[in-house]
Chain A
Amino acid sequence: MTSIAIVNHERCVGCELCTRACGVTHAISLNLDKNWVEISEDLCWSCGACEKMCPFSAIALPFWAEPNKELRDTIYAQTRKPKKARVAVQNFEQEEDEEDVMAGSRSH
């Protein structure tokens, strides 16, 4: 039984937020004629990132599938800022500065 994410065609509005979430394997693509997303069975690693991203719950892993959390964290690490920088809003700017300095992206 396949364990890749399933798209609810009634609910999917083709906003492509899930295609952005699936930024590493690029398993999701928009069907231009139907305006709903489709998932490539070969490319989907069932990480569940799309499910988390979809605001309308139109895409979800089947209930028997365990999300590949390790892969999801790897994807987050590559596509998003480290979690630490998003935790405390009041220290957001200060922490961002520190990270930038650590990463050497800003010259002082």
Chain B
Amino acid sequence: MATPQREIPRTSPYSKPFYKWLDRLAPVGLALFMMAVFVDYSWWMIKSPQHLASWRTLIFFAIWIPTTLFYIIMAIKDIAQNWNGRWEFAGPKARNRLADTVGAQKAGMQQDFFRSVTGKRYDLTQNAFFRWLFHRRWYQFAVQLPNVIIFNIVIIAGLVGVVNPNRNFATVITWYVWFGVLFVLMIGVGRAWCLICPFSAQAEWVQRLGLFGKGKKLLTLGLKWPQKYSTLLISVFFFLGLTWAEEFYNVAGPGKPAFTSMLVAGIIMWDLFYALTFERRSFCHYGCPLNGVIGVVSAVAPFEGFRAKDRSLCKTCTTKECMRGSERSYGCGWYEYPGSMSSNFYCGLTGECFKGCPYENIGLSVHAPLKEAYQPKKKRFDLAFGVTLMMGALFFEILNATPQYAGFDTWLSHATGWNIAAKALDGQLSGYPMPLDYLGIIFLFPLLGWLVSLGASWISRKQIQARELFTRYCYGWIPLFGLGILARQLPKVLTNGPTIAQVISDPFGFGWNMFGTAHMHMHARAFAYHWILFVQLSFVLIGGVASLFVTQKISQLDFQGRPGSGAINIVMHSTIAILMVAMMAGYYYIALTNPGHPLVPPF
């Protein structure tokens, strides 16, 4: 953290009338926006040909009215408390004198753990506007609210809207837009999705009994998450389960919009259960099916998350408001301590630590991408194992589009009798995907990583443990996985995404025309059809090269000078290259077998 810091002003910008009124009126504006959306949708619903007493209208208002009422009541409470600057940051406290002596000595002793990586970084909080914004209590709420409204409409649209998925807001938004935007956000900013996540937002609002204010009491049992289940693998297994269920019920196929609606509502209820039972954001850590994917892919992003600018000052801080909370902030919901963060895997960008730190010692730096993947000294086995499992899931997603897999899966389903069970479960008729081959393909990849690590350990004459090699080098798979999974979403997102123009004006397919775009000729599978493959291959190539770069850096930082490090480096690079070529070949083969594609050979 050797970046020279500019002097931070001693007074709060809140004292200036402009900032004061902006702080007061921004939440008011958001509340009015919420009301406007409520009134607009209600008006169109009443005006539509549906009878007011029909079950569709009743479901609409049964969800729409209570949620909006809850938001409005909470918003009024928080706006009233925010009006007089109740949670305002008065200005930084004087620096602890011990920081330059005892603190610096303690930080120096851990220099190896917090190894600094060369290169430029720019701290966004040097800018007065960002500093002001991150101190606002409504900073997170402002980005959460539009998303919450969108996903509440998704739930309603799935339940009451038309069955045609390409004319239903639920399917189009969730699978054609959200699933693409999600990966772009991960690769671009890190856990930006977690910042705006509508699922945890609503659960957290209930837990905190407020939308953005800082209350004293929480509505939760506050149980601690059990120690032995504190691992990332839980969320990875949830992700694998969700992927299987999504394929089995053809939720994103696109299937019935009601399944999408039930999926979103189910995640919200599940999150709510966690929030009411466990402390902080236990769901985001140990329940969210996307936590593993987002955390891992965030390592590609050039944002390092909210982190201490000067660790020696943190070493002498006895109050730790960043973790424990203060009068104007909650403690970090993500169980992170900015004073010892070495990666952005678990920074949810909520900014509570920034508001809490009395010394104004938290920054949000932008640096070269990929650093977060190789920089951490403390690399974790469960995370590495999770990366290999998710790589397996990605390869499954590629393989399942091939005719050979379809034939094999159908045969296995019939041979094992799975197709009968699938009928009972109301899934796909052929029983696709058969759980055995699904898990078999996925577990091939941890096995591959482990075998390569065993070989590498043998090269080092057992001087380096296979577990250590597996743990550290599997971080090198991250960029390939991140860009590879984005490439997998591209066909659906790019070819079908423009149908958003129609459904945004007619979300339920009732014949509305809210924004005048309902009759635009935007058909599914009509866009970007011919050149999509080349974008996919480019993404995989970029991901592969980035993975090779990260692997090289890991070799330099973690294994330089150790026995057999040169040969191990070559083995690990070769593994990445093989994975990259296999992935590119997979995407190319899918395109070839796709009828109508210009690259299909003439037979």
Q: Which residues of A contact B (CB under 8 A)?
A: 6, 8, 10-11, 13-17, 20, 32-35, 55-58, 60
Contacts and interface: CB of A to CB of B under 8 A. Distances in A.
A4 to B, nearest CB: 14
A33 B113 contact: yes
A60 B320 contact: no
Interface centre among B315, B335, B378 (most CB of A within 10 A): B335
Nearest to A6: B227
Interface stretch (B176-184, B336-344, B541-549, B563-571): B336-344
A104 to B, nearest CB: 26
Interface centre among A13, A20, A35 (most CB of B within 10 A): A13
B378 A35 contact: yes
Nearest to B222: A57
Contacts of B380: 10
Given A55-B320, A60-B224, A13 B113 contact: no
Nearest to B228: A8
A35 B110 contact: yes
B337 A13 contact: yes
A11 B225 CA distance: 10
Given A11-B230, A13-B341, 14 more contacts: A10-B231, A13-B323, A13-B335, A13-B339, A14-B340, A15-B323, A15-B339, A34-B113, A34-B378, A35-B340, A56-B323, A56-B335, A57-B279, A60-B224
A1 to B, nearest CB: 16
A58 B323 CA distance: 12
Interface in B129-154: none
A32 B113 contact: yes
Interface string B510-522: 0000000000000
A14 B112 CA distance: 15
B337 A14 contact: yes
B324 A55 contact: yes
B337 A8 contact: no
8 contacts: A10-B380, A13-B323, A16-B315, A34-B378, A35-B113, A35-B340, A56-B337, A57-B224
A56 B331 CA distance: 9
Interface centre among B110, B227, B279, B336 (most CB of A within 10 A): B227
B320 A15 contact: yes
A13 B346 CA distance: 12
List of 10 A-B pairs having minimum Cβ-Cβ separation, nearest first: A13-B337, A57-B224, A10-B230, A8-B227, A55-B323, A55-B324, A56-B335, A14-B340, A15-B337, A13-B340
Nearest to B325: A55
Interface string B208-227: 00000000000000001101
Q: Main secondary structure on chain A at its contact with chain B? A: loop
Interface residues of B, number: 27
A34 B113 CA distance: 7
Contacts of B224: 57, 60
Contacts of B382: 10
A34 B382 CA distance: 16
A33 B112 contact: yes
B109 interface: yes
A20 B318 contact: yes
Nearest to B341: A13
Contacts of A33: 112-113, 377
Contacts of B377: 33
B395 to A, nearest CB: 27
Contacts of A20: 318
A56 B536 CA distance: 42
Interface in B309-348: 315, 318, 320, 323-324, 331, 335-337, 339-342
B350 to A, nearest CB: 15
Contacts of A8: 227, 230
B378 A11 contact: no
Given A32-B109, A35-B340, A35-B378, A17 B320 contact: yes
A11 B320 contact: no
Given A20-B318, A35-B113, A60-B224, A11 B335 contact: yes
B112 to A, nearest CB: 7
A14 B341 CA distance: 10
Contacts of B342: 35
A51 B339 CA distance: 20
Nearest to B223: A57
A39 to B, nearest CB: 14
A59 to B, nearest CB: 9
Contacts of B335: 11, 13, 56, 58
Contacts of A32: 109-110, 112-113
A17 B377 CA distance: 22
Interface centre among A6, A16, A57 (most CB of B within 10 A): A57
B215 to A, nearest CB: 17
Contacts of A14: 337, 340
A10 B112 CA distance: 20
Contact of B331 (A10, A16, A55): A55
A34 B337 CA distance: 15
Contacts of A34: 113, 378
A60 B224 CA distance: 10
B323 A57 contact: no
Nearest to A7: B227
B299 to A, nearest CB: 17
Contacts of B324: 55
Contacts of A6: 227
Contacts of B225: 57
